[in-house]
Structure 1
Amino acid sequence: MNRQKLSGVKDNFLQRRYGVRLGRRYVLAAASVVLFGVLGCSQINSDTSAMAQSRLPNSESPVQKKTVNPDTKLVNANNKFGFKLFSELLKNENGEKNVFVSPSSVAIALAMTYNGASGSTQKAMARTLELQGMNLLEINSSYAALKKLLENPDANVQLTIANSLWANQNTSFQSDFLKRNKDFYNAQVTSLNFQDAEAPNIINNWVKDNTQGKITKIVEQIQPDQVLFLINAIYFKGKWSNEFDKSQTATLPFYLASGQQKQHPMMSQDGDYRYQENDQFQAVSLPYGKDGKVSLYIFLPKQNSNLKTFYQSLNAENWENWMAQFRKREGSIRLPKFKTDYDVTLNDALKALGMGEAFSNQANFAGIGKNLAISQVKHKTFVEVNEEGTEAAAATSVAITLTSAAPPTEPFKMIVDRPFFCAIRDNQTGSVLFMGSIMEPQ
């Protein structure tokens, strides 16, 4: 089938699926927001406008069989970027607070931004996002295919990805940039009067709707030189394949890194799990849904070790090796119910990863407009894990403004009563959707 026919099939598919607002509660959400400012004022093309109202896939539609193979280069790039970003954030926190991010959401938002980068700025972003060796068409096509694979992996696990672009009605943008984001990222393009006092509320309401109320505000106010927002939102609803029995939940000690202990609700369960153990850690995969295509992975350092030591070996290469070493084992798991939120500015982390030029006067986003540079990248998240499953949300705001110019066979026992690392992974594609460092469950 040629590309034109494929595009037509995709458009018809999206029109059918995105025609209904979804009202049911989601259990996992991530949102990324990209904000742009450009010089000059002229009317945006009317054919790039879209309804300002949020539209979500109809969860009642039957899950279609996945026939597209994931591009392992893109998945590997996203995971590598995600672990690098996570490592940089850990440096700033000094292991004293919970860290929880959505690397997939940040990567998608920056990939949409990448479509407007040129010259050395584009090269710097490619290095940071681990996209070297992939041309723009390959990157965009891979994201389009990955979206189809990730969405709705199981009857009891719903995952949807939505993108939108909010443009100042008095500003013009490169049509190719808008078209690529519409065609490959299915971005809804909306023309908006940024001088209207209600403009931030319109955008924030979209984010609120698309994170089921967990992220209520991503735009405090719109500055005079800010004229474009790109927003990515990821939603996930998943029940455990085997829910924890609430009657088995008991208040027991959790030991903090300081050596102190706190009494905390701990969930318990016995069964067969994908599990591995070595001198460093115990690790278990807790699947969602009937087929376990998505799992929560828990990595617990051994008693004679700690998370700081574990993080020294946490990278994309080791992660893939670890994923291959999980084996079915009988055992028991004790896991804290936990809830945490996280708020961080990503500027320093992204600069440390090689994107410094994108924040400077030398930034080149000619693919979008003139005289652009990133001014701030904000990331907010929320996560809650309980007996039924997982609830989480994340929002990332990127503001661009004007420039001046052989294991044992006996049953294992895993008691997660001290700081641990966790990640939510799509096992079908290998994409790491969320990852976190839980120092103290709340």
Structure 2
Amino acid sequence: MNRQKFSGMKDNFLQRRYGVSLGRRYVLAAASVVLFGVLGCSQVNNSTSALAQSGSPQPESPLPKKILNSDTKIVDANNKFGFKLFSEVQKNDSSEKNVFISPTSVAIALAMTYNGASGSTQQAMAKTLELQGMNLQEINSYYAASKKLLENPDMKVQLTIANSLWANKDASFQPDFLQVIQHFYQAKVSNLNFKDATATSTINNWINENTRGKISKIVETIEPDQVLFLINAIYFKGNWSREFDKSQTTQYPFHLTSEKQKKHPMMSQTGDYRYYENQQFQAVSLPYGKVGKVSFYIFLPKQNSDLTTFYRTLNVENWEKWMTQFSKQQGFIRLPRFKTDYNVTLNDALKALGMEEAFSSKANFSGMGKNFALSQVKHKTFVEVNEEGTEATAATSAAIEAVSLRQQPEPFKMIVDRPFFCAIRDNQTGNILFMGSIVEPQS
């Protein structure tokens, strides 16, 4: 069969199954990291898909025209899933440990996997990911278009998203599944000998490159029954719209608990900020770059409250309401300079959210191949906040500026000297790129 005829047949199949033609490829890069292996529940055969063998780019065609800004369904779904996931991770981790995840990264990795799910496994994943009522056309088209919209939002802000698929050369997969992952998610598709000792280093080299060396390893070992890894990487680096003066950074106490504190470098600044305060917390938005398309949000529980109390109200409905309450206000902010990395296996959290079947022998990933189930979902992040800005391999969130107040309020004072919640949000789309709790800042 000649290449032109094969290409036509492939486009016709994708048009019938996914409702759209293959997407244009855009330049890739990196950020926070999610990995999961798919394991065969029975012996895989020795035939290998032609696409996985070649690993070469396939013919391109333009992305369907879609006004992403008006399509908030998947953004809302991603953010809702993100808050649910953060809540589960928080339950399973120590309250004295920093937690930092990228809901966007996890959502992208699981969306790629979702393309291979069928039957009750697909339904369970849709419920967990909040994708009920959406078809693959909407989901895949959104991720194809959002990559272009999210990346490189400003000259002073770097945001890159990269995906990859690593297939065991001894396993067979549905060619259509591999083609969709390659074209809609612009994934690097590679065929490896999983028995070769160099396979793990090949995958980890890709991770290291696409996270600018901040995450050097995601695969420790490849288990004998693992046949596929789907990986997302997000890299973010942004300079503050107005950088902090290093000469103003001073050692101040940071209260780890009501009884325990430590001295830590704290950055200070006075200016006009988008600010919100209620009886439970203070919140401020610190923008990056010239246009402030992406911001760092800090939520600081008041002295008579704490993060545990704050988390009882942290959900997508309240988040969206809070975003409309921010208004421009003059004030003073002091916050810790910090960096942290985080590593978590998400199997238990995803099972608790309704995806248990996907990890079991009952899993149905027939769109991917025969007798497959999820083996492991791993997540790693890194974030550093200093006087210049933020570097992170993790997340995003959306904000709408409230109408101006009728009278000029008194300048606020926000001293971030105790555990706080933070998020990095893309204000144009509303995507929460990263979120986390900092209970003990590290230099």
Q: So what's the TM-score if we normalise by structure 1?
A: 0.87
Whether the aligned pair in 1 keeps the contact of 2:425 and 2:432 (CA below 8 Å) is yes
The CA distance in 1 between the partners of 2:95 and 2:376, in whole Å, is 24
The amino acid that maps onto 2:254 is: F
Tell me the CA shift for residue 112 of structure 1: 0.4
The amino acid that maps onto 1:101 is: I
The CA distance in 2 between the partners of 1:9 and 1:437, in whole Å, is 37
The CA distance in 2 between the partners of 1:174 and 1:183, in whole Å, is 15
The amino acid that maps onto 1:36 is: V
Tell me the CA shift for residue 67 of structure 1: 6.8
Whether the aligned pair in 1 keeps the contact of 2:255 and 2:418 (CA below 8 Å) is yes
The CA distance in 1 between the partners of 2:159 and 2:50, in whole Å, is 31
Aligned length: 405
What percentage of aligned pairs have identical amino acids?
70
Q: Deviations over 1:56-115 (max 9, x none)?
A: xxxxxxxxxx97435200000000000000011111225221111011100100010001
Q: Tell me what 2:45 maps to.
A: 41
Whether the aligned pair in 1 keeps the contact of 2:34 and 2:380 (CA below 8 Å) is no
The amino acid that maps onto 1:303 is: Q
Tell me the CA shift for residue 230 of structure 1: 1.1
The amino acid that maps onto 1:186 is: Q
Helix, strand or coil for the counterpart of 1:267?
Answer: strand
Q: How does 1:158-307 map to 2 (within 5 A)?
A: 158-307=158-307
Indicate whether 1:10 and 2:24 are aligned. Answer: yes
Distance 1:258 1:371, change over 3 A: farther
Whether the aligned pair in 2 keeps the contact of 1:70 and 1:145 (CA below 8 Å) is no
Distance 1:223 1:97, change over 3 A: same
Indicate whether 1:430 and 2:434 are aligned. Answer: no
Tell me the CA shift for residue 126 of structure 1: 0.4
Tell me the CA shift for residue 142 of structure 1: 1.2
Q: Tell me what 1:25 maps to.
A: none
The CA distance in 1 between the partners of 2:428 and 2:283, in whole Å, is 19
Structure 2: segments with no counterpart, 5+ residues: 1-13, 57-65, 396-404
The CA distance in 2 between the partners of 1:185 and 1:9, in whole Å, is 9
Q: Deviations over 1:317-358 (max 9, x none)?
A: 000000111000011110101112222221211111111111
Q: Tell me what 2:337 maps to.
A: 337
Distance 1:285 1:370, change over 3 A: same
The CA distance in 2 between the partners of 1:74 and 1:8, in whole Å, is 20
The amino acid that maps onto 1:440 is: E
Whether the aligned pair in 2 keeps the contact of 1:215 and 1:394 (CA below 8 Å) is no
Distance 1:131 1:375, change over 3 A: same
Tell me the CA shift for residue 242 of structure 1: 0.5
Tell me the CA shift for residue 215 of structure 1: 1.2
Helix, strand or coil for the counterpart of 1:165?
Answer: strand
The CA distance in 2 between the partners of 1:315 and 1:343, in whole Å, is 23
Q: Tell me what 2:324 maps to.
A: 324
Q: Deviations over 1:15-60 (max 9, x none)?
A: xx46xxx8xxxxx8212223223332333233345669xxxxxxxx
Q: Tell me what 2:367 maps to.
A: 367
Helix, strand or coil for the counterpart of 1:29?
Answer: coil
Whether the aligned pair in 2 keeps the contact of 1:71 and 1:146 (CA below 8 Å) is no
Instruction: Give the alignment's Cα RMSD to 1 decimal.
Output: 2.2
Whether the aligned pair in 2 keeps the contact of 1:251 and 1:264 (CA below 8 Å) is yes
Q: Tell me what 2:145 maps to.
A: 145
Q: So what's the TM-score if we normalise by structure 2?
A: 0.87
Helix, strand or coil for the counterpart of 1:100?
Answer: strand
Distance 1:196 1:394, change over 3 A: farther
The amino acid that maps onto 1:174 is: Q
Q: Tell me what 2:61 maps to.
A: none
Q: How does 1:101-116 map to 2 (within 5 A)?
A: 101-116=101-116
Q: Tell me what 1:31 maps to.
A: 33
The amino acid that maps onto 1:366 is: S
Q: Tell me what 1:403 maps to.
A: none
Which stretch of the first structure deviates more once superposed, 298-307 or 250-259? Answer: 250-259
Tell me the CA shift for residue 9 of structure 1: 7.6
Whether the aligned pair in 1 keeps the contact of 2:23 and 2:144 (CA below 8 Å) is no
The CA distance in 2 between the partners of 1:173 and 1:204, in whole Å, is 23
Which stretch of the first structure deviates more once superposed, 354-363 or 247-256? Answer: 354-363
Helix, strand or coil for the counterpart of 1:334?
Answer: strand
Tell me the CA shift for residue 243 of structure 1: 0.5
Q: Tell me what 1:383 maps to.
A: 383
